[in-house]
Amino acid sequence: MDRNIKEIFYLLMQLEDNFSNFYKNISIFNDEKVSRIKTVSLVLAKEEERHAEFYKDFLNKEQYLTTIIIEDKIYEKTKDILNDFKKTLKLNSFKNEKELIEFAIYYEEKNSEVLKTILELVPEKNIHLIEMLTELIKIEDIHAKNLKNFI
Protein backbone atom coordinates (compact mmCIF):
# COMPACT_ATOMS: atom_id res chain seq x y z
CA MET A 1 0.00 0.00 0.00
CA ASP A 2 1.50 3.32 -1.03
CA ARG A 3 1.31 6.25 1.36
CA ASN A 4 1.18 9.98 1.11
CA ILE A 5 4.21 12.05 1.95
CA LYS A 6 2.65 13.31 5.18
CA GLU A 7 3.08 9.87 6.72
CA ILE A 8 6.79 9.94 5.91
CA PHE A 9 7.11 13.45 7.30
CA TYR A 10 5.66 12.25 10.61
CA LEU A 11 8.37 9.59 10.75
CA LEU A 12 11.06 12.11 9.80
CA MET A 13 9.79 14.47 12.50
CA GLN A 14 10.13 11.66 15.04
CA LEU A 15 13.62 10.91 13.77
CA GLU A 16 14.62 14.56 14.19
CA ASP A 17 13.19 14.56 17.73
CA ASN A 18 15.23 11.46 18.50
CA PHE A 19 18.35 13.03 17.00
CA SER A 20 17.80 16.15 19.10
CA ASN A 21 17.45 14.13 22.30
CA PHE A 22 20.47 12.05 21.37
CA TYR A 23 22.63 15.14 20.88
CA LYS A 24 21.29 16.75 24.08
CA ASN A 25 22.23 13.62 25.99
CA ILE A 26 25.75 13.71 24.55
CA SER A 27 26.12 17.33 25.62
CA ILE A 28 25.27 16.51 29.26
CA PHE A 29 26.86 13.05 29.39
CA ASN A 30 29.57 13.23 32.02
CA ASP A 31 32.19 11.01 30.50
CA GLU A 32 35.53 11.81 28.96
CA LYS A 33 34.57 9.56 26.01
CA VAL A 34 32.53 12.44 24.61
CA SER A 35 34.31 15.50 25.96
CA ARG A 36 35.39 16.84 22.56
CA ILE A 37 31.96 16.84 21.00
CA LYS A 38 29.80 18.22 23.82
CA THR A 39 29.57 21.75 22.39
CA VAL A 40 28.96 20.48 18.86
CA SER A 41 26.22 18.24 20.25
CA LEU A 42 24.39 21.23 21.71
CA VAL A 43 24.46 22.97 18.35
CA LEU A 44 23.28 19.84 16.54
CA ALA A 45 20.49 19.32 19.10
CA LYS A 46 19.16 22.81 18.35
CA GLU A 47 19.38 22.16 14.60
CA GLU A 48 17.46 18.91 14.92
CA GLU A 49 14.81 20.62 17.06
CA ARG A 50 14.45 23.20 14.34
CA HIS A 51 14.03 20.47 11.71
CA ALA A 52 11.34 18.73 13.76
CA GLU A 53 9.48 22.05 14.14
CA PHE A 54 9.86 22.64 10.43
CA TYR A 55 8.21 19.30 9.65
CA LYS A 56 5.47 20.01 12.17
CA ASP A 57 4.73 23.45 10.71
CA PHE A 58 4.88 22.13 7.17
CA LEU A 59 2.50 19.28 8.00
CA ASN A 60 0.02 21.70 9.52
CA LYS A 61 0.14 24.23 6.67
CA GLU A 62 0.59 22.33 3.44
CA GLN A 63 -2.66 20.57 2.55
CA TYR A 64 -1.43 19.31 -0.84
CA LEU A 65 0.96 16.88 0.86
CA THR A 66 -1.74 14.23 0.90
CA THR A 67 -1.68 14.24 -2.91
CA ILE A 68 2.02 13.31 -3.10
CA ILE A 69 2.20 9.53 -2.99
CA ILE A 70 5.31 7.72 -1.78
CA GLU A 71 6.01 4.05 -2.36
CA ASP A 72 5.50 1.88 0.68
CA LYS A 73 9.11 0.65 0.53
CA ILE A 74 10.34 4.22 1.14
CA TYR A 75 8.01 4.53 4.11
CA GLU A 76 9.27 1.21 5.46
CA LYS A 77 12.90 2.22 4.91
CA THR A 78 12.29 5.43 6.87
CA LYS A 79 10.51 3.52 9.61
CA ASP A 80 13.39 1.02 9.80
CA ILE A 81 15.94 3.82 10.14
CA LEU A 82 13.91 5.35 12.96
CA ASN A 83 13.53 2.01 14.75
CA ASP A 84 17.21 1.12 14.36
CA PHE A 85 18.19 4.54 15.66
CA LYS A 86 15.95 4.15 18.71
CA LYS A 87 17.43 0.72 19.50
CA THR A 88 20.98 2.05 19.62
CA LEU A 89 20.43 5.24 21.58
CA LYS A 90 22.13 4.25 24.84
CA LEU A 91 25.20 6.45 25.11
CA ASN A 92 27.00 4.11 27.45
CA SER A 93 26.83 1.39 24.81
CA PHE A 94 29.54 3.18 22.84
CA LYS A 95 33.10 2.11 23.57
CA ASN A 96 34.61 5.46 22.73
CA GLU A 97 33.95 8.88 21.20
CA LYS A 98 34.91 7.70 17.71
CA GLU A 99 32.27 4.96 17.78
CA LEU A 100 29.64 7.44 18.96
CA ILE A 101 30.57 9.92 16.22
CA GLU A 102 30.51 7.20 13.56
CA PHE A 103 27.02 6.26 14.76
CA ALA A 104 25.85 9.87 14.46
CA ILE A 105 27.43 10.23 10.99
CA TYR A 106 25.79 7.01 9.80
CA TYR A 107 22.32 8.20 10.80
CA GLU A 108 22.81 11.73 9.49
CA GLU A 109 23.76 10.18 6.14
CA LYS A 110 20.82 7.75 6.23
CA ASN A 111 18.46 10.64 6.92
CA SER A 112 19.92 12.53 3.99
CA GLU A 113 19.48 9.46 1.73
CA VAL A 114 15.80 9.19 2.63
CA LEU A 115 15.29 12.89 1.94
CA LYS A 116 17.03 12.56 -1.43
CA THR A 117 14.80 9.63 -2.36
CA ILE A 118 11.71 11.62 -1.41
CA LEU A 119 12.96 14.66 -3.33
CA GLU A 120 13.18 12.61 -6.52
CA LEU A 121 9.50 11.73 -6.19
CA VAL A 122 8.14 15.22 -5.60
CA PRO A 123 6.40 16.70 -8.63
CA GLU A 124 8.17 19.75 -10.08
CA LYS A 125 5.17 21.97 -9.42
CA ASN A 126 5.72 21.63 -5.65
CA ILE A 127 8.48 24.22 -5.58
CA HIS A 128 8.15 25.03 -1.88
CA LEU A 129 8.52 21.37 -0.90
CA ILE A 130 11.46 20.89 -3.25
CA GLU A 131 13.21 23.91 -1.74
CA MET A 132 12.54 22.68 1.78
CA LEU A 133 13.83 19.17 1.09
CA THR A 134 16.89 20.51 -0.72
CA GLU A 135 17.73 22.71 2.26
CA LEU A 136 17.24 19.87 4.74
CA ILE A 137 19.48 17.58 2.67
CA LYS A 138 22.15 20.25 2.59
CA ILE A 139 21.98 20.68 6.36
CA GLU A 140 22.06 16.93 7.07
CA ASP A 141 25.09 16.59 4.80
CA ILE A 142 26.78 19.46 6.65
CA HIS A 143 26.06 17.75 9.98
CA ALA A 144 27.74 14.55 8.76
CA LYS A 145 30.69 16.53 7.38
CA ASN A 146 31.12 18.48 10.63
CA LEU A 147 31.00 15.29 12.68
CA LYS A 148 33.66 13.71 10.44
CA ASN A 149 36.05 16.45 11.58
CA PHE A 150 36.08 14.81 15.01
CA ILE A 151 37.25 11.39 13.84
Span 110-150, pLDDT tens digits = 889 888 988 887 888 878 888 988 998 998 899 899 889 87
Q: Is the pLDDT of residue 89 over 70?
A: no
What's the rounded Cα separation, in Å, for the pair 98 and 91?
12
CATH T-level topology, domain 3-148: Ferritin (1.20.1260)
For residue 4, what are the β-bridge partners? Answer: 69
pLDDT digits (tens, 9 = 90+) for 25-75: 877 876 666 677 777 788 888 888 988 888 888 788 777 677 777 778 878
**How many residues are listed for the chain in this entry?**
151
Query: What is the sign of the dihedral through the CA atoms of 19, 90, 25 and 109?
Result: negative
In this prediction, residues 85-108 reach a mean pLDDT of: 76
Stated as kind and residue range, the H or E segment containing 116 is helix 97-121
Amino acid identity of residue 61, one-letter, is: K
What's the rounded Cα separation, in Å, for the pair 61 and 58?
5
In this prediction, residues 2-14 reach a mean pLDDT of: 83
